[in-house]
Amino acid sequence: MTLEEMKKQLEETLSPKRFKHSIGVMDTAVKLAEKYGEDRGKAAIAGILHDCARNIEGQEVLELCGRYGIEVNYITNLQPQLLHGPLGAALARDVYGVEDEDVIRAIACHTTGREDMTLLDKIVFIADYIEPGRKFHGVDKVRDLAYKDLDKAILISLDNTIKHILDKGVLIHPDTINARNFIIKESMK
């Protein structure tokens, strides 16, 4: 599928709000790719498709995970929205015809992060957090920082996410902890 065909299909699949968000993530990911020397095409595709499974809910998520061989543990079973990354990656391959493993991996880990994220993983992860439609206290600061110090911007977003999870009293996915620990470890070198 071409990028335009992907956009058309997503517009028919996602809510208008989420489609707009996806365009915002794509545009932001492309800008970050230019800044950090990542492939613009990969950033565009990973950005536009990152939430392609976000509209799937309830039992269907678990059914599709079963079909694609995506592991579900008690954390993701209790919080199936965490599976829209891995499931989106499977759909990117199966429905949207993506073959690039870098793109597929960036989609898979965009929600939780993961240990040792690649540049593309990081770009999509932070683009999801700072795209123009995001409006939360302090977003402008992270937006600026993303173009100056990518790891620091990701660390702030992970910290904010973890704080939010603690406030809500829900389960923390270990990949989020691993993402944070790894970035801190690397910064100590």
> What is the token pair recorded at 44?
């565009």
> Does residue 175 belong to the site contacting Fe ion (CB under 5 A)?
no
Among 10, 28, 42, 51, binds Fe ion (CB under 5 A): 51
What is the C-alpha to C-alpha distance for residues 163 and 120, in angstroms, rounded to an integer?
25
Q: Which part of the chain contacts Fe ion (CB under 5 A), choosing from 6-14, 39-47, 104-112, 114-122?
A: 104-112
Site string for Fe ion, 81-100 (x = CB under 5 A): --------------------
Q: Is the four-CA dihedral 66, 68, 71, 74 of positive or negative sign?
A: negative
Site string for Fe ion, 108-127 (x = CB under 5 A): ---x----------------
C-beta of 81: minimal distance to Fe ion in Å?
Answer: 8
Type and span of the H or E element at 21: helix 16-36
> What is the token pair recorded at 149?
């110090």
C-beta of 87: minimal distance to Fe ion in Å?
Answer: 10
Residue with tokens 């015809």, as numbered in its chain: 97
Q: Which part of the chain contacts Fe ion (CB under 5 A), choosing from 58-66, 103-111, 142-150, 175-183?
A: 103-111
Q: How buried is 172 (Cβ within 10 angstroms: 0-12 exposed, 13-18 middle, 19+ buried)?
A: middle
How far apart, in Å, are the Cα atoms of 4 and each of 1, 8, 11, 26, 49? 8, 6, 11, 12, 12
Residue with tokens 């110090």, as numbered in its chain: 149
Site string for Fe ion, 130-169 (x = CB under 5 A): ----------------------------------------
Among 29, 128, 150, 157, binds Fe ion (CB under 5 A): 128
Spell 115-142 as b/e; 16+ CB within 10 A means b.
eebebbbbbbbbbbbbbeebeeeebeeb
C-beta of 139: minimal distance to Fe ion in Å?
Answer: 14
Q: Which is nearer to Fe ion, 87 or 145 (CB)?
A: 87
Which of positions 22-41 make contact with Fe ion (CB under 5 A)?
Answer: none
Which residues of the chain form contacts with Fe ion (CB under 5 A)?
A: 51, 111, 128
